[in-house]
Amino acid sequence: MPSRARRRVALAVLAAPLAGCAVWRDPPQTAALVGRAPAGLPRRVELDATPFFAQTEYHCGPAALAGALGAAGLAAQPETLAAQVFLPARQGTLQSEMLAGARRHGAVAALLPGELEALLREVAAGHPVVVLQNLALPVVPRWHYAVLVGYDLDAGEVVLRSGTTRRATLSLRTFEHTWARAGHWAFVALVPGRLPATAGEASMTQALVAFERVAAPAAGLRGYETALARWPASLTLAVGVGNTLHAAGRPRAALDHFERTARRHASAAAWINAGTIALELGQRRRARDAAARALAIGGEWNDAARALMQRIDVRPRPD
C-alpha cells in the first residue's frame, strides 16, 4: 500500500494537468455584450451627476437608495432612510424594504429583467440602477447594495457608487458574477410619468399598483396614465387610471373613463366601478344601466353587480 505522503503526491500529479487546462472565460452575458454590443446600446456611458452618499456600517442600502432617489430629483438622506428601511436585527435592509422606501419618497420602484443588457440600457437612458451583489460565496454570502452609474464595453468594466467609494470600477466579468450570486436583482426609482427603458408591462403594472397604495392620487394618476399610453390594451392600468381619478376628486372624469374602459374590455368590474360612481353622483339611471351591463357579462363579478343593483333600488328616487 502506498504511504499517505505518496498518495498525496500522486493526487497532486493527477490534478496538475487539470489545473493547467483551466481557461478564464467571461460569463455568458458579459461575453455577449463585450463581443458585439446590441443595436442602439452606446459603448460607453457614465451618469457622473448621480449623487453619492458614503455608507456607514451596514447602511449600504440607505446610501444606495438615497443616491438613486437624488438622481430622480427626490431629495432623501441616508439617515432618514435608515430609520425607515434598515433592520437592526438583520444588520441590513431587505429588498422589499428598499422598494417600499423608494415609494414612500415619491418614486415608482420598478424591478428590472435579470439581464446585464437591461441594466446597461437603463444607464444609457439616464437611469441609475440599484443593484444587489453578493461579494462573497453563495454558501457564506456578503450582501451589498450599490448604484450602477456607468459602463465601458471597450474597457470591459462598470462604474458604481459603492460603499465609501464614489467612483468604484469593476470588471464586467466580476460584476456579473457578484450580481448573479444575488439572484440578478435590480431596480430603478423614477418619478411618476417616467418609464424604465426595459421594464415590461407586467413589472411596470406591479410597480404602479404598489406605488398607488402609498402615493398621492395625483402622482398615482400620472404613473398610470403614462403606462397606459405605452400599453393601451391593459385593463389593469385602465382601472388604475379610473381609481386614481376618483381618489383625486374627479368623479365625473372617473365615471366617463370607467364606462369607456368597460365597453372596450367588456369588463364587468369596470361597469361596477362606473355604476358605483354614478350612484355616488346621484345618477341612478346611469348606475342601474352599468349594473345591468355587469350582470349581463356574468362571471365572478355577478355577486358584486347584484349588490350594486340592490343599493340602487333601496335609495329614494329623485328622478
Which has the higher per-residue pLDDT, 161 or 318?
Answer: 161
Segment 15-69, tens digit of pLDDT: 333 333 333 467 888 888 887 778 899 999 999 999 999 998 878 999 999 999 9
Residue 14 has pLDDT above 90, yes or no: no
Segment 202-245, tens digit of pLDDT: 999 999 999 999 999 999 999 999 999 999 999 999 999 999 99
Take residue 44 and report the three cell numbers written for it.
460607453
- Predicted confidence at residue 84, as pLDDT, reads 85
Check: CB of residue 109 under 8 Å from CB of residue 99.
Answer: yes
> Which of 78, 57, 56 minimizes the C-alpha distance to 67?
78
Which has the higher per-residue pLDDT, 5 or 111?
Answer: 111
Distance CA 52, CA 63 (A): 8
* Neighbouring-strand partners of residue 133: 144
**Residue 169 per-residue DSSP state:** E
Residue 300 has pLDDT above 50, yes or no: yes
SS3 state of residue 289: helix
For 145, 170, 264, 274, 312, the CA distances from 252, given in Å and listed in that order, are 45, 54, 19, 10, 18
- Predicted confidence at residue 315, as pLDDT, reads 52
> Which of 119, 108, 112, 107 minimizes the C-alpha distance to 76?
107
In the chain, at which residue ranges do the beta strands (DSSP E only) sit?
A: 44-46, 108-111, 129-134, 143-152, 157-162, 165-171, 186-190
Average confidence score pLDDT of the chain: 89
Segment 236-291, tens digit of pLDDT: 999 999 999 999 999 999 999 999 999 999 999 999 999 999 999 999 999 999 99
